[in-house]
Amino acid sequence: MSTQDIIDTLAGIEPGSALDAIRARRLQARENAQKSYLSLFEPTDASDFSLAERAAVAAFVTGLHGESPVAAFYREKLAANAHGARLLEAIGAEIARGRTSGPYGSYPAGPLSIENTAGLIYRVSAASKPALGARLAAVLEHAHLLVFRPRDAASADMKALLDAGWSNSGIVTFSQLVAFLSFQLRVVSGLRTLAAANA
């Protein structure tokens, strides 16, 4: 199990620094973020969602947000897994295909429909599917949906995950992982910006 705080590590926060003191003011939030990381990336049971799959999803999701210390960290995490190099190549190709801006999508008919915005409907390329396999291909498509088109999520999208071999428990954990990564990216970016402003 990791003992080093992952957000401190990714944000470059040194013990005793001004940012360390700022984070210490919200000790419970700091501890809960670390516990979330450990439960998602160093679980006691990864039978429904393997460690390699978790690292691949993390590399994909953080890569969609652009180059950052967080994206580099999860690429390294994926590379450390068996078959990681093969997966990294496919994930890199899919990040390039999936990069866009958002959020976008459509609301149900009503007053919010004025905010409907068209955008990329991402699908894994045929070239990457052999390396990724059906489970990862399905979950990358769903991750892209959650990151860029959350308002378009529907029961058919869940069925696609189930059809690809995902269990209900695995889907819940996957959804939690994507939400955590969005949180982690924003926190690390904010802390790094704060550190640069005070340098």
If you write DSSP's letter for every residue of 38-83 in order, what string do you get? Answer: HHHHS-S--SSS-HHHHHHHHHHHHHHT-S-HHHHHHHHHHHTSTT
Tell me how many degrees the CA angle 120-122-123 measures, rounded to the nearest 5. 150
Task: Specify the 3-state DSSP secondary structure of 14.
Answer: coil
List C-alpha distances in Å: 55 to 46, 119, 145, 199. Answer: 12, 26, 18, 33
Q: Residue 6 domain-assigned?
A: no
Residue 111, domain CATH: 1.20.1290.10
User: In the Cβ-directed half-sphere of 44, how many Cα atoms lie within 13 Å?
Assistant: 1
What does the pLDDT profile of the chain (199 residues) look like in tens digits?
A: 445 899 999 999 988 888 888 899 999 999 999 999 999 999 999 999 999 999 999 999 999 999 999 999 999 999 998 888 889 999 999 999 999 988 888 888 888 888 888 888 999 999 999 999 999 999 999 999 999 999 888 899 999 999 999 999 999 999 999 999 999 999 999 999 988 887 6
Q: Kindly state whether residue 22 falls inside one of the protein's structural domains.
A: no
% of the chain surpassing 70 pLDDT: 98
pTM for the whole thing? 0.92
Domain count across the chain? 1
The answer to whether the CB of 102 falls within 8 A of the CB of 90 is no
Residue 67's domain spans which residues?
Answer: 49-183
Q: What pLDDT, on the 0 to 100 scale, is given for residue 159?
A: 95
- Supply the pLDDT for residue 35: 96
* Cα 170 to Cα 196: distance, rounded to the nearest angstrom: 38
Residue 36 resides in a domain: no
In a domain, 41, yes or no: no
Query: In this structure, what token pair is assigned to residue 1?
Result: 């199990």
Residue 1 has a pLDDT of 40
Neighbours of 107 (CB within 10 A): 14
pLDDT value for 173: 97
On whether residue 126 sits in a domain, the answer given is yes
